[in-house]
Amino acid sequence: MDVILNKSDMVNQQQPIRVYGALMWSLGRVIQTPKVMRVYLGSFWMHRPPNAFEDCRGLRDAEQADLLRDLHDLPRNSAIRKVNKIVKRARQAKVHDYTIGHLKKEIPTVFGKAAPQQELIRDLDKDSALCDFPKVEKFRQSLRLYKFESFSKVRVPTLGMVEEALSIDPSKLMHRFPLSIDPVDGRTNGSAAKSYLTSTDLPTKTLAKVWTLADRD
């Protein structure tokens, strides 16, 4: 979540700093997120009043430019986040399948299954990379509800397809985003943009709308 302090030119240059500090302190107690909140200074008016302060005009203009650029990049960044989430969930599913298959393999096939099952649950995180592992205690609680002999074996063909998808598909998706047109300072020339847009085979009217939206300078 980001914040816009609009009409910030109605106060002098000291007030936004005080507001920023108080805002971050207050929101930090109720919004639990690892991402540092971005606070923009803005001055968006239909008709700017004559008594507006001018002492931070350069800073406000730079902040507004940052805001407009971030809004412009929002669809692309959102798509990249979705791809990253898909990759993360696929990796979690792969780890889960390997873990379940390993637990089934370690259970005796005839007698004395209860004690080994409890031992496996207890040593669940032993010699494991916790960065890829589910939340251990919650996983232990779930495992206690099942008998390990009822689990499925590792599905090697399916996991092979998952591995292939993780190694190939995300990079293909990333290359579909317009990074190959070599932007300089966030901008690209018309010929590079035109060649990329025409390669999408979209209708001319649609491409015209995209061009108008992107050409915001």
Please give the residue that has the higher pLDDT: either 100 or 176: 100
pLDDT at 178: 56
37: DSSP letter:
P
How much of the chain, in percent, has pLDDT values that exceed 90? Answer: 0
Q: How far apart are CA 61 and CA 215, in angstroms?
A: 19
Q: How far apart are CA 27 and CA 20, in angstroms?
A: 11
Neighbours of 81 (CB within 10 A): 10
The phi, psi pair for 139, rounded to 5°, reads -65, -40
The phi, psi pair for 49, rounded to 5°, reads -70, 155
Q: What is the pLDDT of residues 170-215, one digit of tens each?
A: 777 666 665 555 566 666 666 767 777 777 777 787 778 777 776 6
- The partner residues of 41 in beta bridges, in order of sequence, read 5
Whether the predicted pLDDT of 217 surpasses 60: no
Which tokens belong to 76?
């692309």
pLDDT at 57: 79
Whether the CB-CB separation of 50 and 29 falls below 8 Å is answered with: no
Measure CA 14 to chain center: 34
* Domain 87-173: top CATH class: mainly alpha
Q: What is the pLDDT of residues 158-174, one digit of tens each?
A: 778 878 777 777 777 66
Place of tokens 């302190």: 25
Whether the CB-CB separation of 190 and 211 falls below 8 Å is answered with: no
Q: What is the pLDDT of residues 41-64, one digit of tens each?
A: 888 877 778 777 887 778 888 888
Whether the CB-CB separation of 177 and 80 falls below 8 Å is answered with: yes
Sketch the domain layout of the chain as residue ranges: 1-55, 87-173, 184-217
pTM as predicted:
0.53
The phi, psi pair for 39, rounded to 5°, reads -115, 120
Strand (E) or helix (H) holding 167: helix 156-175
Whether the predicted pLDDT of 67 surpasses 80: yes
Which tokens belong to 130?
């916790």
169 exposure class (CB count in 10 Å sphere: 0-12, 13-18, 19+): middle
Whether the CB-CB separation of 9 and 45 falls below 8 Å is answered with: no
